[in-house]
Amino acid sequence: MLALFLAAAEGWAGPPKIELKQDEAAGRLAVIVDGREAFVYQYAPTLDLPHYWPLNSPGGKNMLVEKTEPYPHHRSFWIADTVRLAGGREVSVYNGFYSGVKTGEKDFGPPFRDHVRHVKFTRLDAKDDRAEIGAELVWEMDKSVPVLKEARRLRVDALGAGEYFLDLNFALTAAFGDVDFVSDEGHYAWPFLRLETRWSGDSEGTLISDLGAVGEEATNLKPALWLNYSNTVEGETAGIAVFQWPDGQDHRWLTRKYGCFGPRRPDDRSGEPFTLKKGESISQRVGVLVHRGDVNDGRVAERYRMYIKSQRLR
């Protein structure tokens, strides 16, 4: 295995480096790690949900699926929920895809009645091995009625040999009135990631938690600090680990053998209705590690410990 790692790393010379490449007309912000596209933030105004896709392995293979059957509302790496502004109807940006114009038997297109809209970038910086991306978004109903404000901060670190780490913070603020959150425990993205089938458990990929639980049955709706999915695709072994920032409460995780996974909110705000009063906010912080090898080769446990100590990963 060491020989494979050394051989794989030969293509990366010198210190790791990050660049940002923006295409405003297309609504794309690409993050380039070591000269190769790592992932893209998709934010075109015609979308139901801004999201991150593709998200590539250290070897350059896409690991996430942007749209698929039988759940075409899944959007690669995304944040969404079902809410209700005081005095209004339920607004499911989680299922916003189905609020679009019907273009086929099971397909919909813009405009989407319920959606999340990227408003502007608040920060775009890249220097050496770190990038900082800030964004302002708004959750909207009936095409243009604001329901929630969202502030998103993403720090990206290049770790060398094509590996990289995302530290994502997002906050939703009830800026326009009281907002009820009404989703069940499974149908909200906080966030969710959806693997391509070839990386998932359906293709013999391995899902494991920090507690050593393996597979959907052992991990679904169970508390965990982190989860890691890894597989070997076309000769490359790689994985994605998602880290829950410790906030003093247990977080269960939704996991699926077909490749969807992500943390839940604490139990009193997951599957149970709750209300954000006007001016109040709810936030989440997660880390996403894209690494070489399996959970051990990728040093996932060690890197999680570094993350929660606010140390630079390496």
Cα–Cα distances in angstroms (integers) from residue 269 to residues 10, 152, 190, 263, 275, in the given order:
47, 20, 12, 12, 9
What's the 3-state SS for the chain? CHHHHHHHHCCCCCCCCEEEEEECCCCEEEEEECCEEEEEEECCCCCCCCEEEEEECCCCCECECCCCCCCCCCCCEEEECEEEECCCCEEECCCHHHHCEECCCCCEECCCCCEEEEEEEEEEEEECCEEEEEEEEEEEECCCEEEEEEEEEEEEEEEECCEEEEEEEEEEECCCCCEEECCCCCCCEEEEEEECHHHCHHHCCEEEECCCCECHHHHCCEECCEEEEEEEECCEEEEEEEEECCCCCCCEEEECCCCEEEECCCHHHCCCCEEECCCCEEEEEEEEEEEECCCCCCCHHHHHHHHHCCCCCC
Residue 9 has pLDDT above 50, yes or no: no
Encode pLDDT of 110-154 as tens digits. 999 999 999 999 999 999 999 999 999 999 999 999 999 999 999
Q: Using a pLDDT cut of 90, give the percent of the chain over it.
A: 94
In whole angstroms, what is the distance from residue 173 CA to residue 150 CA? Answer: 6
Residue 6 has pLDDT above 50, yes or no: no
Residue 12 has pLDDT above 90, yes or no: no
Residue written as tokens 């000269």? 35
104 residue type, one letter: G
162-180 mean pLDDT: 99
pLDDT of residue 163: 98
Which pTM was predicted?
0.95
CATH assignment of 2-308?
2.70.98
Give the confidence band of 7 by pLDDT, cuts at 50, 70, 90.
very low
Q: Which two tokens stand for residue 216?
A: 């959907």
pLDDT of residue 160: 96
pLDDT of residue 4: 41
Cα–Cα distances in angstroms (integers) from residue 267 to residues 106, 222, 229, 245, 272, in the given order:
34, 11, 24, 16, 8
Residue 2 has pLDDT above 90, yes or no: no
Encode pLDDT of 154-168 as tens digits. 999 999 999 999 999
Cα–Cα distances in angstroms (integers) from residue 311 to residues 251, 302, 304, in the given order:
22, 11, 10
173-178 mean pLDDT: 98
| Under 8 Å between Cβ of 54 and 64 | yes
Least-confidence region, from 3-7, 113-117, 293-297: 3-7
Q: Which two tokens stand for residue 251?
A: 């977080």
pLDDT of residue 14: 79
Encode pLDDT of 22-67 as tens digits. 999 999 999 999 999 999 999 999 999 999 999 999 999 999 999 9
pLDDT of residue 13: 62
The neighbour count for residue 190, using CB atoms within 10 Å, is 22
Domain ranges of the chain: 2-308
pLDDT of residue 228: 99
